[in-house]
A and B are shown apart, each in its own frame.
Chain A
Amino acid sequence: MKEFVTITIDDQEIKARPGEFIVDAARRNGIYIPTLCNMPGVKPAGSCRICTINVNGRLMTSCTTPVAEGMEIETISKEIEDFRKAVVELLLVEGNHFCPACEKSGTCELQALGYRLEVMAPRFPYQFPKRDIDAGNPKLVKDHNRCVLCKRCIRTILDEEGHHIFAFRYRGHQLQITIDPEYGMNMTDELAQKAAKNCPVGALLYRGKHGFEIPIGKRKYDKEPIGSDIEKLKKVKTS
């Protein structure tokens, strides 16, 4: 197997590792492709479509598409930007996202994407779905109003024996996250905290430590927009 493949991202020639996903190759080279459901190092779900790019003339999700020799990739264009913006807007109208009272505000990835993509007023009508809060778990409060169904909790939160703590239940627009009644009850504090942290929005709240404990100004996206850390890599490289 070849040691690397050559691809072009936004007119820049890049050497990528065979089998690597496009989003990761871009990231290593200081090119930020917005993502939401994706987490580096975790098997991709490809559920949110925000990482959409243009590969050899076709729109594809960069978190699920492995690199291949000679790929011509465009990560940014008017069309792609607008597509991503539309996805964020859809997510915002589909749930009940009231940033002002949410403890994840300032560290929420959906909110940060909204700012970065300059979402002002969604072009779609608000759905205001009737959803509830499930506070039955002793460590976590689950707020279905804010869940974007990214499956990050399902994919990353497993107990020591490898049991999944989170799962989906119901179908269609009623689809929701559920916590395993048995394994969920015995979740350690560390695991519960990790679940709240891995949730990109404020849908999983850890009872032991609240987001409001971080003062405004010190929260993750208070100082720089989402993706800035990746883009800095490039600046270091080229300077």
Chain B
Amino acid sequence: MPKKITIEPVTRVEGHGKVTIHLDDNMNVVQSRLHIVEFRGFERFIQGRPYWEAPVLVQRLCGICPVSHHLAAAKAIDMLVGAGNGEGLTATGEKMRRLMHYGQIFQSHSLHFFHLVSPDLLFGIDADPSVRNIIGVAMENKDLAVQGVMMRKFGQEIIEATAGKKIHGTGAIPGGINKNLSIAERNRFLDGKAFPNVDQMIEWSLGALDFFKDYHKKNKDLIDNFAAFPSSHLSLVRKDGALDLYHGVLRAVDAEGKVILHDVDYRDYLDSIGEEVRSWTYMKFPYLKKYGKKNGWYRVGPLARMNTADFIPSPLAQKEFEQFRAYTHGKPNNMSMHMHWARLIEILHAAEMMKELLHDPDLQGEDLVVTGSRQFEGIGLLEAPRGTLFHHYRINEQDQITMANLIVSTTNNNEPMNRAVASVAKDYLTGQEKITEGMLNAVEVAIRAYDPCLSCATHALGKMPLEITLLDSKDQILDKKRN
């Protein structure tokens, strides 16, 4: 009799998800789906609010990467006040925002790698969940755990110095920024007195890369084959093809590396990208219009960015990038677990960029805001830690928002995550009668590679609060298990 397995909630991803796996009479996987059951409705309740509230209001979507929403909204609002589209700000305005963004990338990626992923790597997917967590990491590898905590802290301190608060600040305002970086504030990141300095961050980023590469060498099969599948990749790149997390043009490549979206001005995103709604989940499915709903899906995030960019404009990360690209002989890398490698290269890049910016006297500039003539439509995109983030607003003559459209990174990765779950479900579950902890976690590990932010919520520490439900073809519950 066909059966359905439900994994709920998925742990160590940001938020909650529910996975269902349908089995047929012979215990073959016939269908697997990642359901998103939260609906936050921001696009609706922002309507009527004055446009200048958007950067502060919308960031509440998320407690994990609010800065990304804050800045994407600010870039859209820049357009509304006639301050260009991500390029028209003063040097201080743009560089303060960039510093904030690199701080965000650095802290979010560090959190993900050290707290959420390293337990799987250190202890293995099948390990006892009571040790397979950050506490376990601290017991086993104290240095790694401490570095993770300190790197996260460094990123958050950068955010506080630029946005005013570690979470949900107000730094970016229409047309610029509300503060510069004083010499005293800057020195905290350089002198290493209050916390390890930026040079230490670069060193630890390199160390984390070494840790991963060493692990990769010893676990080639897992890292190269786990949840691997071909796909297109999409991200912003700088106009000259460089990796740029704050601003650029839209580029997509297919699984073979052919450019299929040619450096498009992101204000025209609606010409290239559509969104499909499916009945069983609240999360939409974006796709490249040219290739249709079925084939137009793509991946975003660190892996996609490594595949779309031509180079990385910071020397140490560029070296790592070259190794990364050489591994697949210059072809796009389609291995889900290489997402972690890509993420670590970005951690290094962010650290290098923070160092460069901290030494830039423009950050002490006084010219913070520009204004121009009013527009009624604003679009802002950037590369959030988890991938391309779209913010789009329209306002009326009274400054009130009349329309908001947000495509968040995790939504862009909706189809890829479903594919990853399907691929793992087939490998691990087909033909099995018994469901082991390790097998279920394998599904989670596949989802976790995408670092999905399913909504803002805390994640469980330690033992997986799992509920598994087995259902037959008539959706009758056959069995229910809780650990």
Give residues 125-182 of B contacting A (CB, 8 Å). 163-165, 168-171, 173-174, 178-179
A215 at the interface (CB under 8 A from B): yes
Number of A interface residues in the complex (CB < 8 A): 18
B52 touches A103 (CB 8 A): yes
Give residues 42-96 of B contacting A (CB, 8 Å). 48-50, 52-53, 55-57, 60
> Residues of A contacting B56 with CB < 8 Å?
100-101, 103, 212
The docked-state distance in angstroms from the alpha carbon of A103 to that of B52 is: 9
Which of A136, A141, A213, A216 lies in contact with B50, CB distance below 8 A? Answer: A141
Also in contact, A103 and B53, with CB within 8 A (given A135-B400, A213-B173, A213-B178): yes
> Residues of A contacting B53 with CB < 8 Å?
101, 103
A132 at the interface (CB under 8 A from B): yes
> Residues of A contacting B174 with CB < 8 Å?
210
B373 at the interface (CB under 8 A from A): no
A167 at the interface (CB under 8 A from B): no
Also in contact, A215 and B398, with CB within 8 A (given A100-B168, A132-B48): no
A185 at the interface (CB under 8 A from B): no
Give residues 102-124 of A contacting B (CB, 8 Å). 103
Also in contact, A101 and B398, with CB within 8 A (given A212-B170, A212-B178, A215-B164): no
Also in contact, A135 and B398, with CB within 8 A (given A210-B52, A212-B52, A217-B164): yes
The docked-state distance in angstroms from the alpha carbon of A100 to that of B56 is: 8
A15 at the interface (CB under 8 A from B): no
Grouping DSSP codes into helix (H, G, I), strand (E, B) and loop, the A interface class, with mixed when no group exceeds half, is: loop
B399 at the interface (CB under 8 A from A): yes
B173 touches A207 (CB 8 A): no
Number of B interface residues in the complex (CB < 8 A): 24
Which of A135, A136, A215 lies in contact with B178, CB distance below 8 A? Answer: A215
Also in contact, A100 and B52, with CB within 8 A (given A207-B399, A215-B170): no
B173 touches A135 (CB 8 A): no
The docked-state distance in angstroms from the alpha carbon of A70 to that of B52 is: 53
> Residues of B contacting A135 with CB < 8 Å?
50, 398-400
B173 touches A212 (CB 8 A): yes
Residue of A nearest to B48 (CB): A133
Tell me the minimal C-beta distance from B171 to chain A in angstroms. Answer: 7
The docked-state distance in angstroms from the alpha carbon of A213 to that of B171 is: 8
> Residues of A contacting B400 with CB < 8 Å?
133, 135
The docked-state distance in angstroms from the alpha carbon of A216 to that of B70 is: 15
The docked-state distance in angstroms from the alpha carbon of A168 to that of B178 is: 35
A101 touches B173 (CB 8 A): no
> Residues of B contacting A59 with CB < 8 Å?
none
The docked-state distance in angstroms from the alpha carbon of A214 to that of B164 is: 10
Tell me the minimal C-beta distance from A213 to chain B in angstroms. Answer: 5
Residue of B nearest to A217 (CB): B164
Tell me the minimal C-beta distance from B398 to chain A in angstroms. Answer: 4
Tell me the minimal C-beta distance from A184 to chain B in angstroms. Answer: 14
Which of B48, B55, B165 lies in contact with A216, CB distance below 8 A? Answer: B165
Residue of B nearest to A98 (CB): B57
Residue of A nearest to B163 (CB): A216
Also in contact, A101 and B399, with CB within 8 A (given A210-B173, A212-B170, A213-B178): no
Which of B52, B57, B179 lies in contact with A215, CB distance below 8 A? Answer: B179
The docked-state distance in angstroms from the alpha carbon of A108 to that of B134 is: 40
The docked-state distance in angstroms from the alpha carbon of A141 to that of B51 is: 11
| Per-position 1/0 for B174-196, Cβ under 8 A of A | 10001100000000000000000
Give residues 299-344 of B contacting A (CB, 8 Å). none
The docked-state distance in angstroms from the alpha carbon of A214 to that of B171 is: 9
> Residues of B contacting A148 with CB < 8 Å?
none
The docked-state distance in angstroms from the alpha carbon of A216 to that of B168 is: 11
Residue of A nearest to B52 (CB): A210
B178 touches A205 (CB 8 A): no
Tell me the minimal C-beta distance from B272 to chain A in angstroms. Answer: 32
Also in contact, A214 and B57, with CB within 8 A (given A135-B400, A141-B50, A205-B50): no
| Per-position 1/0 for A121-156, Cβ under 8 A of B | 000000000001101100001000000000000000
A136 touches B398 (CB 8 A): yes
> Residues of B contacting A218 with CB < 8 Å?
179
Also in contact, A216 and B169, with CB within 8 A (given A103-B53, A133-B48, A135-B50): yes
Residue of B nearest to A216 (CB): B164
The docked-state distance in angstroms from the alpha carbon of A135 to that of B53 is: 14
Tell me the minimal C-beta distance from A100 to chain B in angstroms. Answer: 6
Which of A100, A141, A215, A217 lies in contact with B399, CB distance below 8 A? Answer: A141
Residue of B nearest to A141 (CB): B50
The docked-state distance in angstroms from the alpha carbon of A210 to that of B174 is: 10
The docked-state distance in angstroms from the alpha carbon of A80 to that of B57 is: 36
The docked-state distance in angstroms from the alpha carbon of A205 to that of B399 is: 12
Also in contact, A133 and B49, with CB within 8 A (given A100-B60, A215-B170): yes
> Residues of A contacting B178 with CB < 8 Å?
212-215
> Residues of B contacting A205 with CB < 8 Å?
50
| Per-position 1/0 for A186-201, Cβ under 8 A of B | 0000000000000000
A101 touches B60 (CB 8 A): yes
Residue of A nearest to B396 (CB): A135
Additional A-B contact list (17), CB under 8 Å, known A100-B57, A135-B398, A141-B399 = A100-B56, A100-B60, A103-B53, A133-B49, A133-B50, A135-B50, A205-B50, A207-B399, A210-B52, A212-B170, A212-B178, A215-B164, A215-B178, A215-B179, A216-B163, A216-B165, A218-B179
A/B interface sample: 13 pairs, CB < 8 A: A100-B57, A100-B168, A205-B50, A207-B50, A210-B173, A210-B174, A212-B173, A215-B170, A215-B178, A215-B179, A216-B163, A216-B164, A218-B179
